[in-house]
Structure 1
Amino acid sequence: MEKLANNLTKGIKYFIRPYLALLIPLLLFTVQTFAQDTSFEDGKRYILGGLEVTGLQSYNEQTVKTYTGLRVGQPITVPGDEISAVIKKLWSLELFSNVEMYYTKIEGDEIFLELSILERPTLTNVTVYGVKKRKVEDIINDTDLKKGKKITESLITNTKNYLQNKYKKQGFLNARVNIATTADTSATNAQSMVINVKKGDKVKIRKIVFEGNEKLSDKRLRKSLKKTKKKKFYRFWKKSKYIEEDYREDLNSLVDAYAEKGYRDARILMDTFTKVDENNIDLKIKVEEGNKYYFGEINFVGNSVYTDRQLSQVLGIRKGQTYNGVLLKERIADDSKPDAQDLTNLYQNNGYLFSSINPVEISAANDTIDFEIRIIEGKETFLDHVTVVGNDKTNDHVIFRELRTRPGQKYSKDNLVRSIRELGQLGFFDAEQIVPDIQNPDPNAGTVDIKYSLVEAGSSQIELQGGFGGGGFIGTLGLSFSNFSLKNIFNGEAYKPVPMGDGQTFALRLQASRTFRVYSLNFAEPWLGGKKPVRFNLSLSRTQQFATNFDNSGRLDVDRSRGFAITGVSAGLAKRVQWPDDFFTVSHSLSYQLYDFDNFNNGLFNFGNGSSNSLSYTFGISRNSQGPSRIFPLSGSNFELTAKFTPPYSLFGSKDFKQLREDIDSTTERLFEIGPNPANIEEQLEFEQLSDDLERLEEERFKLLEFYKIKFRGDWYTNLVDKLVLRTNAEFGFLGSYNQDIGNVPFERFFVGGDGLGNFTLDGRDVIQLRGYENSSLTPFSLNPITNRVEQDGGTIYNKFSLELRYPLTLKPSASIYALSFLEAGNAFNNFNDFNPFELKRSAGVGLRIFMPAFGLLGIDFGYGFDSDARPQSTGPSGWQTHFIIGQQF
């Protein structure tokens, strides 16, 4: 009671203090009047003869006089409204702790006044104890304790309450905050502030006890409390700390748990918590369950656009079902999913923005509840104006061609949601901040405006790397502009630093070391012709690999006169189609590669001189509905099926490939018989001749490459809770041949294992990620008959599966960061006969991804391989492997 009385006294003083400031000067004014034996009447008019301001420390006297609005020579009533207004005006500034007005003398009809002011101290420095140093700046910003701030009692009280409530919301129920101020002699009328935070330990829930529940078990009720959990030693993901806001929200979820089971009258009679000790509490929740109900008749009233049958199919609730209030609410309007299949979206997707749907109980006889779904359809709504703001770099036409909402169209919520996804998939804007604003809704006219607010994100990337590998330094320079403008390439004013804004992609990449060089150029136009979503791609590349060997001292010797080169060009078209739905894309591409060997044999191929030619056509079908962001998709899927073909040259030529294959087999068999160390000079000469013959035969065999290659990849994204996302992945690839006598080509093969990054590929290979194993270590090996070394052939068939849990740490435009954990399994095989989809190499691990607009995707993974890899010397599990991810696709 004593504490309550003290608090009440402080409150009264706080509220009446400004009024005392008005009253005291007037009383003093009266006392002085009687003391001077001067006749003084209320409301007497005077001429202001002078105004003096006293007590100032940091403010200019003339500034304060000007602010009062009083001027010498003006008529003034004392006491009167003018003085009261001046005092109130000065108090409202919150710059002064006391404001008083006196008169100093009266001469005839002139009065001389004194304005006495006590300035509030100025804050110069804030010191915070009890929190981590990196948190101090956040506290100062959140409480607005900036240098120069006037220190008031309300500032101290509000700061203290804010911090205590902040930590209580985090589970620190015993948090205490003390604030003190001390004079700062380094400045005039200044004080420094010291904040001492004592958070204490987090208060956790020891037990949750339920009373009155018979229909639902304690376990079921505890499960309904999503964020309020009791302590268990194995609980890691959801903590057991008590947070008032979460607890109140969970009580509503508990009532919903009853409503889902038919108990619509269930309610919470009482909830209390008991303090066990400083760190633990017990919760007690008493419920009244009521009776179980069932759905009766459900009739629709007011509908003309849709029939009762159509609405019943969407509602999905039948007479006799157990009453489920949560399900009924979701089928009317599911606020948790913007694209939910509910009655509200059914109307809003067909232009009825102003429709309203309300379920009304019309009777509750015994245990059965009859409903009327009352519908006000409203007027059909059309889009009047559609505007876009915030696109400083990207041209309007690039945005508007992606929008599904056009002026004159019917309003559709589905089209609005789809437009947000399409803009996010461009990668030019921060997907988290794409905000459509519904403006000027006019139910009478049936019109509405939409304004899209966008925030530009970096759409260009630079890749600049250096490192050691392959016996020397490897340097990489890459430039990628994903919002390029080709038409402005000759416009000097458009270079900022390059022409931007038309949504095209232009990329250059150069990678070089002592042993290889790679050059590539890519250009893509997503809307060829500007009217339809037809994507055009053009790619040019050149790869050179030089012969190497080690000299007597062990140093790497590079012979640039011997080498292997690939020159390639490809062009493609991809069109978005409307069937089965408009997420599908059909693509076509034509490519040509020239593989040129110049006295080069490193075991990848069985011939070191000559050339091979590959002319291929690729047909693809893909469906991409993942979104809304391409960096961190929350939902949807992305799958792609491609088939790559070359002409079946052997069907049209006269060459006897069967005999050629027999000659190759016999030559290879004889080489194995002789071995790499011939017993005499005759065998040495024979070995050399056979090696030359085998290279000639292999070149003849693969002069014109013929093959077909089928690949499938699917990714599914499931939003589990909050922004925790499960990515499910499945992949499959097969390389086949038309003519069994020719067999599978030594190019275009699958190399499985490792980080999945191919710094340079010599032979059109596909590099498949499977973490927990060394790069390409799951790829089949074979014995080379010429070198007698075990070499990687590359697989002709592979499959892979993975599960990946992702959670974002931040999704800001400057840097998107998310953590992940994964389970993976996959393998590669020599041929279809060896293929076993269940013979998989397994791994698990964790990782981190960072996407920065200027540098692309960076990451690191720690994976553990549970099985041995494909290398002949490998026996035990692969164990822990570290993988660095640079520039990998999402």
Structure 2
Amino acid sequence: MRIPRVLGPLLGGPVRSSASRPWRRAPRFGATRGIVTVLLAGAVLAIASGTGRAQTPEMITNVQIEGNAQTDEALIRETFGLDAGDRYQVDQVRQGVRNLWRQGLFRDIRVSAERSDGGIALQITVEENPTLLRVRYDGQDKLKEKDFAEVVQLVPGQLVSPAAVDQARRDLETLYRSKGYLLAKVEPELLGERRADLTFRINEGKKVQVEKIRFHGNEHVASDALRGVLKTKEDRWYRGGDFKEDVFDEDKERIVARLGEDGFVDAKIVDVRKTFSENQERLFLDIDVEEGPQYTVGKVDLDHGGEIPENRLRSAILLYEGQPFNTALFDESTSNLYSTLHEQGYIYANIDVRREPQDDGSIDVDWVLTERDPARINRIIVTGNTRTKEEVIRRELRVAPGDIFKRSRVIRSQREVFQLGYFNDIQMDSKTADRETGAIDLILNVDERQTGTASLGAGINSQAGLTGFLQLSQNNFLGNGQILSLRAEFGRFRTFDLSFTEPWLFGTPTTGGIDAFDTRRRYTEYIESRRGGGLRVGRPFPWLDYSSVSLRYSLAKYELDPEPGYEAEIGNPDPTTISALTGTFFRNSVDSPFFPTRGTSTRLVGEIAGTALGGNEDYFFATISTRSYFRTVSKFVLSLGANAGWLTGLDSANDVPFWKRFRLGGISSYGVRGYDDYDIVPNELFPSTGGRTFGIVSAELRYPVVQAVQALAFADAGNTWEGPGDFNLADLKRGAGLGVRIDVPMVGQLGFDYGYGFDRTARQGGPGWEFHFQIGGQTF
């Protein structure tokens, strides 16, 4: 006989929803989900048999599955949990139905039971959710389908449930809220019975702007101070006022932290009310805070039994008795103590921080330090160096096996290896090598970058005309860290340069190098030829970090031939030989050799040439250049630079080589953008004659568009004068504009600048724009 039905509501399941009409909107969780109908035996069997005594559960003789067109029968059986040979129990049947429902595969589940010879036969009849054919979006404008694909977890071919559709709807609305579209609404439409198309109809609404942020309940901390820590800002003409839920959630933590800085340790946000203007485009935020009592710092204790002097540890603590209890300084003090311990090798140290509120409104603080033994470096493991030889990396490290693990030296080692310029990234990691002694292995994982460059191109400017060039360079020659460079330039500028540098001469940090050059440059007024070479040697400067000194000897033959019509101006100088010694001091503390964000680079150069060295010219010049980098708001980096130089003859101040004089302009080392190369000179009547003194100041604001591309805005000002007495900051030639820097593998860094020269003379065409192009160190 057939056992009477016991409907789904008896199991606490949902009631029936209409499956005969298309889904116009996916129901939310807790709403109607479909039919769950269960035909159970259990207690009904006792009534049917006319007995009131307890009976042993009957055996299930068979479980039959029907209605599953796509769902694997084995999956249904496994999920249901009961099969032939199991004892029939009502609770287990109910649980099996719940398990099936949780899969999200079915819109209807029926279980019927029928007594057969020897037990109970079960039949599970399922009605599957429709198969998703495609997902469409309608009405979107500000966001694109690729943005939706990152949050919507529905793909064609899967069985789609109302719950899954509703989850996708909520995910889309959350995505819009995260972008500032608080009023966005998404309505799903699922059309089809067994195979269905899903369309999300989107009403984005306008992006809401924050009109006003108001605080209530803050009696001691000013509202402006609280607003100042928020990333959510009020809309102003100079900035937007976008509201993003995830950012505001973080802002609420910042508010509590800011109150804690003034001693309100128990401060909390009680409520946040959001109201909109009539047009729903402006948002008013009212934030209710509860400051609570203001605490002061009580006793400050430090308990430790290690070898680090207590005065060194106490210098890390920023809290003092009697001041308001600043939670930020409290956290920073704990961090400083850990840094001090780690710097001395106590990386396994533990700090137990105890805060005890007192009746007088103060908080006593006690830092209890357990230092343990300092950790030593067992091995240094280098990985990822597919080209660079391990020795090249290891010689830059400031730590060695057997050393006490000091955090600052490890970080410095990472920086020194990165400054080589051979790697895209360097990751430092460590692992315990010996649990008894605490020794650790230091792991240095490098990501090699392309260090060789090959450049071929052409350019044009008013000085050089049309030029072509070929440049080959390898900054990590054969993986040995050596630098080999060859450059050839053709056209009005003809150049052949060859240089080789060994950074570790004789296995010591001594730089040695050799240069050879043959150059012929044709300008409007004259042709300049020089041929020669040089030897270089350098060492790290021992008393100043990040610094080095070098000395170069060069011997070159110079010839200067005036073009027809310029003999009176240029004269007809005889070929001359210059024998010179050049000393350089260089300090470089920037954090990246490619796109720095902080630090300073400074170079001092002095050169003396004279007959005592075997040449024909006697002169001295000195230059100084410096540039500093500062992180500002967001990812912007501010760069400030200055250059200055002075040239004088040893016999007479004006008796200096013509080609050694300073001519500014362009994007070179003596560059002022917005002006043509070498076009800023002291005397407009003699544009080919440079000055003996110059000064340049420069400012750049850079922004990383992507990892290898930076956009920039710049402002330059500079001039050159005949002598130091003519130096005048009010007489600077000004330029400003926009540019971009692109790091291209196998080519180097490309630079494109478009500058406006405000003080260009009539000879220079008056105020106007000038385009500058740079590839590697070459400018056009």
- Scaled to the shorter chain, the TM-score interval is 0.7 to 0.9
Structure 1 residue 589: deviation in Å?
2.0
**Structure 2 equivalent of residue 175 of structure 1:** 184
Match of 1:143 among 137, 145, 152: 152
Work out whether residues 638 and 700 of structure 2, in 8 Å CA contact, stay in contact via their aligned partners in 1: yes
SS of aligned partner of 1:392: coil
Which residue of the partner structure matches residue 738 of structure 1? 650
SS at match of 1:166: helix
Counterpart secondary structure, 1:752? coil
- Asked if the contact 1:782/1:792 (under 8 Å) is kept, the reply is no
Greater mean alpha carbon deviation, residues 845-854 or residues 134-143: 134-143
Q: Please state how far the C-alpha of 1:44 moved relative to its aligned partner.
A: 4.9
Partners of 2:510 and 2:613 lie apart in 1 by 35
CA contact 2:429–2:443 (8 Å) conserved in 1: yes
Q: Which residue of 2 aligns with 1:77?
A: 85
1:209 is aligned to 2:214: yes
Q: What's the secondary structure of 1:386's corresponding residue? A: strand
Q: Secondary structure at the match of 1:156?
A: helix
Q: Is 1:481 aligned to 2:474, yes or no? A: yes
Q: 702, 724, 747: which one pairs with 1:832?
A: 724
Matched with 2:271 is: 270
Equivalent position of 1:305 in the other structure: 307
Match 2:490 to one of 504, 512, 518: 512
Distance across 1 between alignment mates of 2:264 and 2:385? 52
- CA offsets, 1:518-547, max 9 Å, x none? 222333333334x44333333332223469
78 and 381 in structure 1: CA distance in 2 versus 1, 3 angstrom threshold = closer
Residue 352 of structure 1: CA displacement? Answer: 1.0
SS in 2 for 1:642: strand
Q: In the TM superposition, what are the counterparts of 1:169-568 in structure 2 within 5 Å?
A: 169-182=178-191, 191-225=196-230, 227-233=231-237, 235-236=238-239, 239-277=240-278, 278-289=280-291, 294-315=296-317, 317-333=319-335, 342-362=336-356, 364=358, 366=360, 369-431=363-425, 434-440=426-432, 445-469=437-461, 473-485=466-478, 501-513=479-491, 515-529=492-506, 531-545=507-521, 564-568=528-532
What is the one-letter code of the residue matched to 1:855? V
Q: CA deviation at 1:312?
A: 3.0
Aligned CA-pair RMSD: 4.5
Contact between 2:582 and 2:606, CA under 8 Å: does it hold in 1? yes
CA contact (8 A) 2:26 2:188 kept: no
Write the distance in 1 (CA, Å) between the matches of 2:772 and 2:59.
87
Q: Secondary structure of 2:651's match?
A: coil
1:710 positional shift: 1.4
- Counterpart of 2:22 in structure 1 is none
Residues 597-636 of structure 1 mapped to structure 2, 5 A cutoff: 597=560, 606-608=570-572, 610-627=574-591, 629-636=592-599
Cα deviation per residue 1:549-568 (whole Å; 9 max; x = unaligned)? 9xxxxxxxxxxxx9653223
8 A Cα contact 2:39 2:112, kept in partner: no
Structure 1 residue 587 corresponds to structure 2 residue 563: no
Report deviation, 1:509: 2.4
Report the CA distance shift for 1:90/1:541 in structure 2 as closer, same or farther (over 3 A).
farther
Q: Give the 3 Å change call, closer, same or farther, for CA 598–12 of structure 1 in structure 2.
A: closer
Distance between the aligned counterparts of 1:195 and 1:283, measured in 2? 30
1:752-802, CA deviations, whole angstroms, 9 ceiling, x for partnerless residues?
22322xxxxxxxxxx41222333333222365xxxxxx3321222222222
2:772 corresponding residue in structure 1: 883
Query: Is 1:707 matched up with 2:699?
Result: no
Indicate the SS of the match to 2:315.
helix
Q: Residue 530 of structure 2 contacts residue 558 of structure 2 at CA under 8 Å; is this kept in 1?
A: yes
More displaced, 537-546 or 637-646? 537-546
Structure 1 residue 42 corresponds to structure 2 residue 58:
yes
Higher percent of residues as helix: 1
> What does the per-residue CA deviation read over 1:566-599, in whole Å, with 9 as the maximum and x for residues that have no partner?
2232332332344223x11122222222224578
TM superposition shift of 1:740:
0.8
Q: Within the alignment, does 1:820 sit opposite 2:712 as a pair?
A: yes
- Cα 1:418/1:289, change in 2 over 3 Å: same
Structure 2: where are the runs of 5+ without partners? 1-13, 18-24, 50-55
User: In 2, distance between residues paired with 1:390 and 1:148?
Assistant: 42
In the superposition, relative to structure 1, how do residues 516 and 885 fare at CA in structure 2: closer, same or farther (>3 Å)?
A: closer
1:860 aligns with 2:752: yes
**Alpha-carbon contact 1:771-1:883 (below 8 Å) kept:** yes
In the other structure, the counterpart of 1:768 is 670
Distance 1:598 1:711, change over 3 A: closer
What are the superposed Cα offsets for residues 373-415 of structure 1, whole Å, 9 maximum, x if unpaired? 3222232112234334333333333333333343332222212
Partner SS, residue 251 of structure 1: helix
**Residue 889 (structure 1) shift:** 9.3
Distance of 2:102 and 2:293 partners within structure 1? 59
Equivalent pairs counted in the alignment come to 739
Q: Whole-Å Cα distance in 2 between the matches of residues 860 and 303 of structure 1? A: 60
**Equivalent residues of 1:354, 1:378 under 8 A apart:** yes
The 1:94–1:574 alpha-carbon spacing in structure 2 relative to 1, beyond 3 Å, is farther
Note the C-alpha offset of 1:26. Answer: 9.3
Contact 2:169 2:187 in 1 (8 A): yes
Q: CA 1:195–1:68 in structure 2 vs 1: closer, same or farther (change >3 Å)?
A: closer
* Structure 1 residue matching 2:659: 3-state secondary structure: coil
Q: What amino acid maps onto 1:439 in structure 2?
A: K
What is the deviation of 1:120? 5.7
Match of 2:168 in 1: 159
Identity %: 27
Structure 1 segment 639-658 matched on structure 2, within 5 A? 639-646=602-609, 648-649=610-611
- Tell me the distance in 2 between the aligned counterparts of 1:508 and 1:26: 92
- CA 367–853 in structure 1, closer or farther in 2 if over 3 Å, else same: same
Alpha-carbon shift at residue 745 of structure 1 (Å): 1.6
Looking at structure 1, the residues matched to 542 and 32 of structure 2 have their Cα atoms a distance apart, in angstroms, of 70
Q: Is residue 2:703 matched to residue 1:791? A: no
Structure 2: distance between partners of 1:832 and 1:128: 71
2:53 paired residue number: none
- The answer to whether the 8 A contact 2:377-2:440 is kept is yes
Per the alignment, in what secondary structure is the counterpart of residue 697 of structure 2? strand
| 1:616-668 deviation per Cα after TM superposition (whole angstroms, max 9, x unaligned) | 222222221211x322222222212122222x31x799xxxxxxxxxxxxxxx
1:248 aligned partner, one-letter code: D
Please tell me whether residue 806 in structure 1 is matched to residue 702 in structure 2: yes
Alpha carbons of 1:371 and 1:161: their partners in 2 closer, same or farther (altered >3 Å)?
A: same
More moved, 565-574 vs 540-549: 540-549
Distance 1:89 1:141 in 2: 29
Kindly indicate whether the alpha-carbon contact (under 8 Å) linking 2:637 and 2:701 is maintained by their aligned counterparts in 1. yes
> How far, CA to CA, are the matches of 2:630 and 2:393 in structure 1?
28
Structure 2 vs 1, CA of residues 52 and 249 (structure 1 numbering), >3 Å: closer, same or farther? closer
Match runs of 1:719-734 below 5 Å:
719-734=631-646
- Contact 1:600 1:609 (C-alpha < 8 Å) held by counterparts: no
Shift of 1:168: 0.8
Counterpart CA distance in 1 for 2:154 and 2:395 is: 48
- DSSP 3-state at the match of 2:144: helix
**Segment of structure 1 superposing worse, 317-326 or 850-859:** 317-326
Decide whether aligned partners of structure 1 residues 460 and 317 sit closer, same or farther in structure 2, where only a CA change above 3 A counts. same
Instruction: Name the TM-score, length of structure 1 as normaliser.
Output: 0.72
